[in-house]
Amino acid sequence: MRPLLIAGNWKMNKDLFETLAFLQGLKAYAHKHAEDRVQIAVAPAYPFLVTACDLLKDTPVKVAAQDVSANDDGAFTGEVSATMLASLHLPFCLAGHSERRQYHGETDFVVNTKLKQVLKNGMTPIFCLGEKLEEREAEQTNAVLERQLADGLSDINLLTGREIVVAYEPVWAIGTGKVATPQQAQDAHAFIRNWLMNNYNVAVAEKIQILYGGSVKPDNIRELMLQPDIDGALIGGAALKLEQFTAMLDTSKEVVKIK
């Protein structure tokens, strides 16, 4: 079985003091409740990545960046390169989050360039994709996922399946409180895994962790994580409170025992 990866995406939340308080609490939790089959990651804002890496260095908690520049180093004011992130020994970096696509006009081509930057610098990208409400209503979900996968992964060679994590996040479920049903999520995940099987191979597709994201909460995470093709969660709002985040980790630990 693939391990579950439970990742908190804090977005533009938490200042330095809030970041420290949360991470100290999470560190104490992780020391007491380690379980190899439940991997933990948090994605704080850029300014706090160094602090987060230092604080979590001897713990199982992994740090992720929320985004990365599509460019190499150079005259790109305000951007952060993959080389810079790699120098912190960050294991993960998100790419293609729907808020980047929506508010910053990131196309599938830009997402593809970012994925290549992250991979080239030895980090694991968490490649986010998912359909909008109107696309689901027009029964275009699979066509959209197919386009995002084909364009996002264009010219990316995966040899083991451990090089990348995919996060299926239906846009209509993000921050709306409207979670996909476990069956809707499972169907999309199975479609993604099948695409990976056809475009890479069975062994690679079987190894790739596919996370679900979109209004995951303590009271719905269990049913989602029990689905055969759901290998973790990318959590926004409910990952901001330590008690909620650790409650979801506890539930995930129960799930891996029976999955």
Which CB sits closer to ligand PGA, 41 or 208? Answer: 41
Question: Shortest gap between Cβ of 191 and ligand PGA (angstroms)?
Answer: 20
Measure CA 164 to chain center.
Answer: 10
Comparison of 130 and 161: residue with beta carbon closer to ligand PGA: 130
Contact by Cβ (8 Å): 183, 223: no
State the binding string over 6-45 for ligand PGA (x if CB under 6 A, else -). Answer: ---x------------------------------------
Look at residues 125, 190, 192 and name the one whose alpha carbon lies nearest to residue 162: 125
H or E element at residue 126: strand 124-129
Between 215 and 227, name the residue whose CB sits nearer to ligand PGA. 215
Q: Which of residues 93-152 bind ligand PGA (CB under 6 A)?
A: none
Q: Please list every residue from 157 through 196 that binds ligand PGA, using CB under 6 A.
A: 169, 174-175
Structure tokens at 245: 């985040």
CB of 167 to ligand PGA, least distance (A): 7
User: Which 3 state secondary structure label does DSSP give 247?
Assistant: helix
Q: Applying CB under 6 A, does 213 fall inside the site for ligand PGA?
A: yes
67 binds ligand PGA (CB under 6 A): no
Size of the site for ligand PGA (CB under 6 A): 13
Query: Does residue 215 interact with ligand PGA by CB under 6 A?
Result: yes
Residues 80/46, Cβ–Cβ less than 8 Å = yes
Torsion on CA atoms 7, 12, 13, 16, rounded to nearest 10? 100
User: Does residue 237 interact with ligand PGA by CB under 6 A?
Assistant: yes
Give the nearer residue to ligand PGA in terms of CB position, either 49 or 216: 216
Which residues are the active-site residues?
Answer: 97, 169
φ/ψ of 72, rounded to 5, equals -75, 180
Helix axes 16-32, 242-258, angle to 10 degrees: 30
Helix, strand and coil percent figures for the chain, each rounded to 5: 45, 15, 40
Nearer to ligand PGA, 96 or 237 (CB): 237
Question: Contact positions toward ligand PGA, by CB under 6 A?
Answer: 9, 169, 174-175, 213-216, 234-238
